[in-house]
Amino acid sequence: MKPNETTGKQEIMYRLKNAGELYVLLSMCTGEPYVVCDQETYDDEIIVFFDGQAAIKESKEQTEAGIPVRPMKLENRQFLMFYTSLYTLGVNALLVKDGGRDCLIQLQDFVKRNNQQGQESGEKIWVENPSLHLTMLYYMQELRRKPGQENLPQIKEWQDEISNDFGKGSFIVPVEKEGKGLAAVKVNEQLFQAIFTDILEFQRFNREGKLRPLVVTADKIPQIMTEEAKGVILNPMGVRMTLQIKRTAGQTKQNA
């Protein structure tokens, strides 16, 4: 890397930590940061701006091109938690657009993790499924913006990856603190059991503090589901992906 490129990246990283505010493109299909796979480096990246008007302009252009996004403003006090959450999404880079230039910043170069023990969120429980979460984002970004693509090779590939990652994962199930009831979400008049890929997603759902997290492996999920539940809904405050679950342990059938 040339000296001026190094200096430029150091300046951008300083601003990513110390700017008063910044803007991130948010996918209207997932409620999460819009994720892009870099065609040259294959980094899984989000798009960041320091200028609000530039973010609005980019959002309008992307939406007109069939990719529904909007700018999300972050204040400095929110930066650390936001950057930390990118690890749970499977994102490893930030594409910073600044005054007509693009700068690709690796997340690990300026945000270090605390050994994945949950210190960032204040929780002792730390469960995450970054590969699954990332694939769900790509899958839902594409499927929801343009329905009817279920038979395309890329969509099927993502479906297989989601099914495989789900089957190997551990998840957080929300349980009522007063009693033993499990939280459910109604989708198209059908009930789905709420489960979460990580503690940060659980906290988004548990804003009133009435639930406690229970860690369950994928093969045990059919055993804890209520009879009324048609399946599970992953991250109902974010990607909201439903999966139909067979009532025999270890077997899942996926629908979106």
* Full-model pTM: 0.89
Contacts of 151-160 with C-beta under 8 Å, sequence gap 24+, read 159/254, 159/256
The boundaries of every CATH 3.40.1350.90 domain in the chain are: 3-109
What are the mean pLDDT values of the chain's consecutive 10-residue runs (256 residues total)?
69 97 98 96 98 98 98 98 96 96 95 63 74 98 92 94 96 89 90 96 94 95 91 96 76 42
What are residue 184's DSSP bridge partners? 193
> Which ranges constitute the DSSP H helices of the chain?
3-18, 52-64, 79-89, 130-145, 153-168, 199-205, 221-224
Q: Which of 162, 184, 163, 164 has its CA nearest to residue 173?
A: 184
Domain 3-109, CATH among 3.90.1150.10, 3.40.1350.90, 3.30.70.3270, 3.40.50.20: 3.40.1350.90
* CA separation for the pair 94, 254 (Å, rounded): 31
Sheet strands side by side (includes 241-245) = 184-187, 190-195, 231-234, 241-245, 252-254
Residue type, 183: A
pLDDT digits (tens, 9 = 90+) for 194-239: 999 999 999 999 999 999 999 999 999 999 998 899 999 999 999 9
